[in-house]
């Protein structure tokens, strides 16, 4: 059940997606920055690293919205250098990531950029080819891709919120 607070958060995420996608044209960075800003995550280097991630270098592979959201989920649930040998932390970080991929696939049919583009636009485009990229843009890429990214960031945000709510319940029960 979605609360009014959640609806405001989702609205903020969608606004962030629209403005950052218009500025960057990069779905991976757009997804990540929306979640990074909303959940006050440190990730400027990751944001820069995501530059080549749309469709994994425009090859129609993993959707940039998936890559960006998984990076944010990794920051929220993952392990760092200080506990790199903690295998339980690794296993625990996979649960929200796999849940995200499952929900994203249920919502959009795939995690693959080329398949999502073909479904949304009726055909695949070679986005590395300037002529096909222009055709893709003229077919409404900004609107349709912002919807895909918004879906992804809302799924990831829900997973983060559920975990933080669960943590709050556990803390209040033990404190």
Contact 35, 156 (CB under 8 A): yes
With the C-alpha atoms ordered 14, 37, 160, 94, is the resulting torsion angle positive or negative? positive
| CB neighbour list of residue 73: distance below 8 Å, 6 or more residues apart | 93, 96, 97, 100, 156, 159, 160
> What is the residue-level pLDDT of the chain in tens, covering all 175 positions?
567 888 999 999 999 999 999 999 999 999 999 999 999 999 999 999 999 999 999 999 999 999 999 999 999 999 999 999 999 999 999 999 999 999 999 999 999 999 999 999 899 999 899 999 999 999 988 899 999 999 999 999 999 999 988 766 767 676 6
For 64, counting Cβ atoms within 10 Å of its Cβ (0-12 exposed, 13-18 middle, 19+ buried), the class is: buried
Residue at token pair 């829900």: 158
| pLDDT score at 18 | 96
| CB neighbour list of residue 51: distance below 8 Å, 6 or more residues apart | 26, 28, 29
Contact 30, 68 (CB under 8 A): yes
């Amino acid at each position: 059940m979605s609360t009014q607070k959640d609806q405001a958060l989702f609205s903020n995420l969608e606004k962030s997606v629209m403005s950052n996608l218009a500025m960057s044209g990069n779905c991976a960075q757009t997804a990540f920055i929306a979640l990074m800003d909303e959940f006050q995550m440190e990730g400027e280097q990751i944001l820069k690293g995501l530059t080549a991630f749309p469709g994994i270098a425009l090859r129609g592979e993993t959707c940039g919205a998936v890559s960006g959201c998984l990076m944010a989920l990794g920051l929220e649930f993952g392990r760092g250098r200080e506990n790199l040998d903690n295998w339980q932390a690794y296993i625990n970080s996979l649960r929200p990531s796999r849940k995200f991929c499952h929900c994203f696939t249920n919502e959009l049919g795939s995690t693959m950029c080329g398949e999502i583009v073909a479904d949304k636009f009726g055909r695949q485009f070679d986005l590395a080819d300037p002529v096909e990229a222009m055709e893709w843009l003229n077919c409404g890429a900004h609107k349709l891709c912002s919807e895909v990214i918004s879906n992804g960031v809302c799924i990831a945000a829900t997973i983060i919120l559920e975990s933080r709510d669960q943590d709050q319940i556990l803390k209040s029960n033990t404190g």
